[in-house]
Amino acid sequence: MAWPPPDSRMAPLLAVEDLLVEFHTRSGTVRALDGVSFDLRHGEMMALVGESGSGKSVTAYAILGILDTAARISGRVVFDGRELLSAGEKAMGAVRGSKLAIIFQNPRTALNPIRPIGKQIADVLARHGNVTAAQAQRLGVEMLAKVRIPDPKRRAAAYPFELSGGMCQRVMIAMALACEPALLIADEPTTGLDITTQAAIMGLIAELVASRNMAMLLITHDLALAAQYCNRIAVMHAGHLVELAPTRLLFATPRHPYTANLIAAAPGEGAGLDRLSAIPGTIPDLRRGDLPACRYSERCERVTPDCRTGPLLRLDTADGRRVACRHPL
């Protein structure tokens, strides 16, 4: 079957609607995600940015269905015309790793330490493709070559501890792309790598994604990185998607105060370190019973009383932007 099917061209590849995730823990209910909605078209590269604890990875794990069993999830995740949240574990197993793949941060610990890397890639191929073990092994070596690992045949027998962090991330990429997915989620793929390797890895991912006409959801806290590779950026804060806009517009005219502050806080060209402005406060404790309607209101300079009490307003504008703020810039 040709991928993607011709008739699905118009519909978005991934539609996340009103996603809500809660974790029931001993110290209270963590409202990790609340009303997160976004679309992703075929072949599109979109970024999910925000500081630690803003819910970026939880969003990714919820889409993949690999959240902890303590998580309560509601909303809709439609991928390739199929609702995933209501799909059973068996159906999800067939989607994960084949049409929907993910690359994690810290590649060294994300790989099985006592299994040769070639075998780990072959495991994924054997699971999803109709191939024999020997074919899977051979295809795995081919994948290693595609992510430019030198001497792939010999390296296939290596263990993660014998490879550098950058090499391990290449292995992760080979594993994720082995079954030609339609969507790749890259969850901070360069975190934990040294700075020169970061650029090479990101370049490799973007190149492979573009050459296969895949869609990518890049999760990062690095606005500059997101701007470099993605046409649209979604900004998250404390489990809310606060702003979603085409990259150029987001930087030119940020509408949400958090986005504006985030851009001001990022080191840019020519800007000295003394001109960086920090965002006051921290992400609120998501276990709190009295979370304000707008979770940024306690850090916001434009706050009014109705920001805390009234429902959070999500405005869609004509130029394809969305902002969750009562008093946008």
Residue 137 within binding range of other proteins, rule CB under 8 A: no
CA distances from 171 to 107, 156, 177, 327 (A): 8, 9, 10, 46
Which of 32, 58, 64, 141 contacts other proteins by CB under 8 A?
64
Which of 25, 52, 74, 112 contacts other proteins by CB under 8 A?
112
Can you list the alpha helix ranges (DSSP code H) found in the chain? 56-64, 89-95, 107-110, 117-128, 133-146, 152-155, 165-177, 195-211, 223-229, 247-252, 257-265, 305-309
CA distances from 110 to 56, 117, 149, 252 (A): 18, 11, 18, 37
Among 73-81, 92-100, 273-281, 305-313, the segment contacting other proteins (CB under 8 A): 92-100
Size of the site for other proteins (CB under 8 A): 30
Q: Would you call 297 helix, strand, or coil by DSSP?
A: helix
Residue 43 within binding range of other proteins, rule CB under 8 A: no
Please count the other Cβ atoms lying within 10 Å of the Cβ belonging to residue 71: 18
Which of 19, 46, 110, 186 contacts other proteins by CB under 8 A?
110
**What do you get for the CA distance between the two ends of the chain, in Å?**
47
The residue among 85 and 279 lying less far from other proteins, judged by its C-beta, is 85
The residue among 112 and 309 lying less far from other proteins, judged by its C-beta, is 112
- The radius of gyration of the chain's CA atoms, rounded to the nearest angstrom, is 20
Query: What is the smallest separation between the CB atom of 315 and other proteins, expressed in angstroms?
Result: 34
Amino acid at 228: Q
Residue 123 within binding range of other proteins, rule CB under 8 A: yes
Query: What is the smallest separation between the CB atom of 251 and other proteins, expressed in angstroms?
Result: 32
Nearest C-alpha neighbor of 97 from the set 39, 177, 173? 177
Residue 164 within binding range of other proteins, rule CB under 8 A: no
Query: What is the smallest separation between the CB atom of 72 and other proteins, expressed in angstroms?
Result: 17
Residue 175 within binding range of other proteins, rule CB under 8 A: yes
* Strands 100-103 vs 322-323: parallel, antiparallel or unpaired: unpaired
Which residues form the interface with other proteins (CB under 8 A)?
64, 66, 89, 92-98, 101-102, 104, 106, 109-115, 123-124, 127-128, 159, 161, 172, 175-176
